[in-house]
Amino acid sequence: MDELFRALPALLRELDDNETVREAVVFAAWRKIAGDMLRDHAVPFRLEQKRLIIAVSSETWKKHLQHLSGQMIFKLNSKLGAAFVTYIDFRVDEATVKKERAEFKKRFDGEISEEAALNQVTAKMRHSADAIKDDHLRYQFLLAAGSCLARKKQINEKKKLEKS
């Protein structure tokens, strides 16, 4: 997995630094460094330039994580092999945390199939992923990127339905 994260800066450059993919990569790195314990209390919400916005479940978690933000930024950028994040903004937003918990559970319930995820992968992404030598890691990267794009597509379709 670490090899995959080290290959990401080069892949992002090849994809013209696509904002959606960059955000997905930073979110994946956040989840990796945050671990299971934080998943229930702090979730990535948005990446604006190099400012990562994290929704937290309470003021207590916000204060605690603010003290650790320097370490987290260092770990994130070390994991990614480039300075993708220079600031973390923690915002109390219990609804977003609960929504992420529910989405996380759905992902493991198989809402987005492997086939649906891989159908979202573009030829350019496949070409860029060829830089990952390990077949399994390359496949996992494409699956993760495709899942992110499929999920984003589902969210956009849901929003369209809600507006009509």
Residue 144 has a pLDDT of 86
CA atoms of 75 and 133, how far apart (whole Å): 24
Please give the pLDDT value at position 106. Answer: 62
Residues for the chain: how many in total?
164
Going residue by residue through the chain, which has 164 residues, state the pLDDT in tens, using 9 for 90 and above: 566 666 766 776 666 567 888 888 888 889 888 887 788 899 999 999 899 999 999 999 999 999 999 999 999 998 888 888 999 999 999 998 888 777 766 655 445 678 888 888 888 888 888 888 888 888 888 888 888 888 888 778 777 777 76
Dihedral over Cα of 75, 83, 101, 60: its sign: positive
Integer CA distances (angstroms), 42 to 25, 73, 90, 110, in order: 17, 15, 8, 23
What is the reported pLDDT for 1? 58
Residue 92 DSSP code: E
Helices assigned H by DSSP within 1-134: 2-14, 19-39, 59-80, 94-108, 114-119, 123-129
Cα separation, 21 vs 142, in Å, equals: 11
| Strand intervals (E) in 9-132 | 42-48, 51-56, 87-92
Q: Is the pTM of this model over 0.75?
A: no
Residue 43 · residue 100 · CB < 8 Å: yes
Domain residue ranges of the chain, discontinuous segments joined by +: 2-163
**pLDDT computed for residue 60 by the predictor:** 94
Query: By the 8 A CB rule, do 89 and 34 touch?
Result: no
Per-residue pLDDT, 110: 47
